[in-house]
Structure 1
Amino acid sequence: MVQTQPPSPRPQNPTAAVALMVLATVFIAGTTLCAKALGTETLGPSLHSLQISQGRFVFAFFGLLSVAAVLRPKISNPNLRLHISRTICGATGVTLMFAAVAFIPLSDATAISFLNPVFGMLLAIPFLGEKVGPWRWAAAAIAFVGALILLRPGPDTFQVAALLALGAAFTMGLELIFIKKLADREPPLQILLINNALGCVLMSLAAAAYWAPPTLAQWGALAALGLMMASAQTCFINAMARADASYVTPFSYLTLIFASLYDWAIFKSVPDWVSVVGACIIVSGAALLAWRETVNRSRLRRVPASLGGRV
């Protein structure tokens, strides 16, 4: 039997990883707005969250298929076990999120569900063997405090819809682990094609009993949702391939800020002082993480690896 060596990890580039993650948050915030419009009566009779998830996977898959038709990637040795696990977690997470935003304010649902970087960082320790030092813990804690401020914890927050968003946070945090494992083994386009193909099948079966004919505006929103999600996934996969999951995932908190900006630009909803304070704290946590990573990488260029410590 010929033994093959495991693929070597891609070169780490934290700066590029952060830029890609920030771009991903721009698209992800847009998908939550589309989901909100589709799950309410903004564009016509509200659609079931399973149907919204189905549309997200279908349009994302065809968008990626168009790219694949041009690039003609070679699909080689996909780890179907990881792909299926990742797809189940991702489909569950986005469906719970889409259900939540139809019943509670977008800012609340986004704040709760995007606690997934905390889950992702915690799960990266046992599942990925990543070492999370005091600076990363501190930066993640700062971002977490900012998210809690935006969440405005109170008796009205912890309702069924909020629990749906919390479930979305956990399942998407678990999805981060599978994404990182796949990003270290397979090309990004291969990961995205397989994930969205599996998602099309899974969600089409799940949504069959709830499917209703969308209006023309809803078709457009479904297409926009799917294409933005495909763009977000592309940025996200490439970010995860270029830095530790525990380092790069906290930057996805910026989705909260972009969601607020979209809300202001489209619905003229002006953030109050609580939202501004929470957003500033989140940015501060991400900035601390980026600064410390830069300092540490500079130090490691001068110090032997055997003497390096956790950061």
Structure 2
Amino acid sequence: MLVATLFIAATMLLAKALGTDALGPGLPPFMVTFGRFLFAWLAITACLAAVRPRFTPPDLRTHALRSAFGFTGVTLMFAAAAAIPLSDATAISFLNPVFAMMLAIPLLGERVGRWRWLAAGIALIGALVLTRPGEGTVEVGALFALGAALAYGVEVILIKRLSGRERPLQLLFVNNCFGLAFAAVGAAATWQTPTPAQWGAMVALGSLMACAQFCFVNAMARADASFVSPFVYMTLVFAGVYDAAIFGVIPNAIGSVGASLVIAGAGLLAWREGRLRQAASAPAPFQPLPPRRPD
């Protein structure tokens, strides 16, 4: 999971470089998303050609919905990365489990207790701080990141519906097929010929994203989700380090406070989910059988 977060933060850094003038005229977010899906699809397809796993009939309707929201989230996130500090955009994206929790009430019929609502409230306050409404204008990049978190939250709900019926590699492959189709349409509408450096960055972006997905899936398969999920927040640390080292962007006090609140809320939610899973999987206490009456 730590390696996955290292790769995810690197993809955010590359998205920022592609969306600004660091490697040439900044590319539109749809172009960056197209590069991400194109080269991730090529990497995953090469992996499947080597492994040749068995696929089951996919639920194409749910896959299409999942990929549409994932494509929307990725595009908005790349737009946010180009507009605001990486640490702020990454912190706001951590709202996706909060939105997933809220959406699970009407979509999955789940019940939410006071601890979950408390965690959601803390994280949402942190997001409000990161949008900086008191400075006269709301950060547009922060709104992009909020939209990305909401889209990711819907995607999580749809992944829950698919994960029990299809294997992880199949989920990755079908998702990237749909995502590439959506991204191709967006790129065609906003096409701008990338420079050689930008092509190289998009190759790295897609490859790193495929590696991050592979590491994430393996982390979830090899350990309890309640154990590995908190390590996702290391993405914020790596993103901040990359942003400071490459672009010289240092998080200010407002960004640090907002990010801390978002992480505190999301971390509390992850802790509570872990406790609930442990309670559900714990064996029932031993109950001795009542003494039998003599016949």
Give TM-score, length-normalised by structure 1.
0.76
Conserved 8 A contact 1:27-1:232: yes
- 2:53 equivalent to 1:73: yes
Amino acid at match of 1:206: G
- Note the C-alpha offset of 1:187: 0.5
Q: Which residue of 32, 35, 40 corresponds with 1:52? A: 32
Match of 1:103 in 2: 83
Give the Cα–Cα distance (whole angstroms) in 2 for the partners of residues 243 and 126 of structure 1: 27
Amino acid at match of 1:42: A
Mapping of 1:86-235 within 5 angstroms?
86-158=66-138, 160-235=140-215
Give the Cα–Cα distance (whole angstroms) in 1 for the partners of residues 139 and 271 of structure 2: 38
Conserved 8 A contact 1:188-1:238: no
- Alpha-carbon distance change, 72 to 262 in structure 1, aligned in 2, over 3 angstroms: same
Q: Deviations over 1:132-183 (max 9, x none)?
A: 3333333343344444444444345525544333322222221111112111
Give the Cα–Cα distance (whole angstroms) in 2 for the partners of residues 184 and 243 of structure 1: 16
Match of 2:292 in 1: none
Gaps of 5+ in 1: 1-19, 305-311
SS of match in other structure, 2:198: helix
- 2:250 equivalent to 1:264: no
Q: Deviations over 1:73-94 (max 9, x none)?
A: 1121100001111111111221
Amino acid at match of 1:174: V
- Alpha-carbon distance change, 78 to 238 in structure 1, aligned in 2, over 3 angstroms: farther
- Paired residue total: 283
- Alpha-carbon distance change, 25 to 106 in structure 1, aligned in 2, over 3 angstroms: same
More displaced, 221-230 or 189-198?
221-230
- Note the C-alpha offset of 1:29: 2.4
Q: Deviations over 1:95-153 (max 9, x none)?
A: 12222333344344444444322211111222223333333333343344444444444
- Alpha-carbon distance change, 286 to 85 in structure 1, aligned in 2, over 3 angstroms: closer
Give the Cα–Cα distance (whole angstroms) in 2 for the partners of residues 51 and 35 of structure 1: 10
- Note the C-alpha offset of 1:42: 0.4
- Note the C-alpha offset of 1:196: 0.7
More displaced, 231-240 or 94-103?
231-240
SS of match in other structure, 1:75: coil
Give the Cα–Cα distance (whole angstroms) in 2 for the partners of residues 114 and 302 of structure 1: 33
Give the Cα–Cα distance (whole angstroms) in 2 for the partners of residues 276 and 164 of structure 1: 19
Match of 1:85 in 2: 65
Conserved 8 A contact 1:53-1:203: yes
Amino acid at match of 1:194: V
More displaced, 104-113 or 212-221?
104-113
SS of match in other structure, 2:6: helix
SS of match in other structure, 1:78: coil
- Note the C-alpha offset of 1:283: 4.6
- Alpha-carbon distance change, 207 to 141 in structure 1, aligned in 2, over 3 angstroms: same
Conserved 8 A contact 2:131-2:139: no
Conserved 8 A contact 2:77-2:145: yes
Q: Deviations over 1:189-239 (max 9, x none)?
A: 001111111222221122124323322221221112112222333355567
Amino acid at match of 2:122: I
Give the Cα–Cα distance (whole angstroms) in 2 for the partners of residues 118 and 292 of structure 1: 12
> Which of the pair has more CA radius of gyration?
2
Match of 2:291 in 1: none
Give the Cα–Cα distance (whole angstroms) in 1 for the partners of residues 90 and 277 of structure 2: 32
- 2:42 equivalent to 1:62: yes
Give the Cα–Cα distance (whole angstroms) in 1 for the partners of residues 137 and 225 of structure 2: 32
Conserved 8 A contact 1:143-1:250: no
Give the Cα–Cα distance (whole angstroms) in 2 for the partners of residues 97 and 209 of structure 1: 19
Give the Cα–Cα distance (whole angstroms) in 2 for the partners of residues 268 and 161 of structure 1: 18
Conserved 8 A contact 1:140-1:250: no
Amino acid at match of 1:131: R
Match of 1:307 in 2: none
- Aligned CA RMSD, in angstroms, stands at 3.3
